[in-house]
Structure 1
């Protein structure tokens, strides 16, 4: 998108919002890094004067069932990603 002219972007892309939601336990370091990465990418994209009017990235903190009941029916695509924890060996 950045390599295109403003006219090309408006012609080829419809405005979109990407919404991410989740929680991370305080001890789950990798999940906390992912949350920070998403918020950092969102800040970069949302403040970019070239593409900020065509793409927004939003992270919903403290995502839960009540929030999902509002967001999911309004979305085109809903993907639920859950980490694969190793099975306990006894």
Structure 2
């Protein structure tokens, strides 16, 4: 091994460059991961948004209109219509 000490004239520069390079690569990887997580959290999809009964939703007038439409289409019977209408009044 005649070249065992080849490259020692750089001294401390080589290890410092390696450490700085590794830190920069890890920082870039962290930024990419953070952006992906943030993008995923902001993306709409199933299971996103407020829980049922929380957050904005149809107001009482709109809910009553929807109830009347469902009754007119035959999706619900008279008993269900009356029960839900009373619930919307309170």
TM-score by length of 1: 0.27
Larger Rg computed on CA atoms: 2
TM-score by length of 2: 0.27
Q: Considering fraction of residues, name the structure with more helix.
A: 2
